[in-house]
Structure 1
Amino acid sequence: MTVPVWPSELPRPTRPGWQGQYSDPRLKKSGDAGPPGYRRRWSSVARAVQLTVQLSRSQKATFDTFFEYDTRMGVLPFWMPDPTTDGWPMLTEIGTPVLDGAGNPVLLSAQWLCLFGSEMPVERIVGVEFHYSFPVWVMP
């Protein structure tokens, strides 16, 4: 079985809807005095990320098909370009883009292995756009 891939026709998630948080791998040690003590509960840590995408009518159909059929209503994992890294230019220490031999910026590439979160995608209509908000778990 192949892992579905986030459709390339869908836009990058918006910045205003972005929110991320690591799951807590710590287990508190019991103690009745002093500062809290922790130890690791597990070594790999998933990250919960809240995403929002703004879609046209045709992109909405693409998203609906991806969610309903490709991921079986959010049950199957999927690959998604990391919106914080993928497609952004690589920078030097002083913040200027690294260029290739033809003078084009070198772009970074990164993928996430994701699962849809415990809540189903929420759809809002804003003007002629469809805004979908949904949580994903980025797997370690």
Structure 2
Amino acid sequence: MTAIWPDDLPCCPLDGISAGPRSARIVTPVDVGPPKMRRRGAPLRTIALAHYFDANQRARFDRFWDEDLRYGTQPFLYRDPHFNNYLLSTELGAVLQDENGVPIRIESWILCVFSTNQPTWSKRAGKFFPQFEIVELP
């Protein structure tokens, strides 16, 4: 069974995200001219995230990392930092609503794994600031 990012941990990054386009290229340098490029496998995207946790959330993250992800080696579902919770709208920008007048929000998840770099932590004023990278799987 695939693990899911715990509900009691924040899913919205602290200061946005840092992500590039999906990459599926192998680049080979040559003696003269531009490098040779070819496609390899499925394209992957690495996303850099930073959060802030209190002490309880830090303990919950450690338990998620150790037990649910077997020390960060298993894939898990994470709320899509690009599209989750955005308002659904028409082509003209009008927000779509349900029959009760409540705006409709997008719920989007991605399947990912932690990158090869383990999370790093800093602590300021009693809060923990983890920084880590996840790799979005196809």
Place the TM-score, normalised by the shorter chain, in its bin. 0.7 to 0.9
Please give the alpha-carbon distance, in whole angstroms, between the structure 1 residues aligned to 2:96 and 2:107.
14
Determine whether 1:112 maps to 2:131: no
Instruction: Tell me the CA shift for residue 37 of structure 1.
Output: 6.0
Q: Is the 8 Å Cα contact of residues 117 and 136 (structure 1) preserved in structure 2? A: yes
Please give the alpha-carbon distance, in whole angstroms, between the structure 1 residues aligned to 2:7 and 2:65.
14
Residue by residue, what CA displacement relative to the aligned partner does 1:65-100 show, whole Å, maximum 9, x if unpaired?
A: 101111011011111111221222112223332111
Please give the alpha-carbon distance, in whole angstroms, between the structure 2 residues aligned to 1:13 and 1:48.
16
Please give the alpha-carbon distance, in whole angstroms, between the structure 1 residues aligned to 2:112 and 2:26.
25
Identity of aligned residues (%): 28
Distance 1:66 1:95, change over 3 A: same
Q: Which amino acid aligns with 2:12?
A: P
User: Which residue does the alignment assign to 1:132?
Assistant: 130
Please give the alpha-carbon distance, in whole angstroms, between the structure 1 residues aligned to 2:126 and 2:22.
36
Please give the alpha-carbon distance, in whole angstroms, between the structure 2 residues aligned to 1:51 and 1:57.
19
Instruction: Tell me the CA shift for residue 31 of structure 1.
Output: 8.9
User: Which residue does the alignment assign to 1:41?
Assistant: 40
SS at match of 1:80: strand
SS at match of 1:112: strand
Determine whether 1:88 maps to 2:86: yes
Determine whether 1:101 maps to 2:115: no
Distance 1:66 1:96, change over 3 A: same
Please give the alpha-carbon distance, in whole angstroms, between the structure 1 residues aligned to 2:16 and 2:121.
13
Q: What is the aligned length? A: 137
Q: TM-score, normalised by structure 1?
A: 0.84
Q: TM-score, normalised by structure 2?
A: 0.85
Q: Structure 2: state its 5+ residue gaps.
A: none
Please give the alpha-carbon distance, in whole angstroms, between the structure 2 residues aligned to 1:131 and 1:54.
4
Q: Which 4+ stretches in 1 moved above 6 angstroms?
A: none
Q: Structure 1: state its 5+ residue gaps.
A: none
Q: Is the 8 Å Cα contact of residues 79 and 112 (structure 1) preserved in structure 2? A: yes
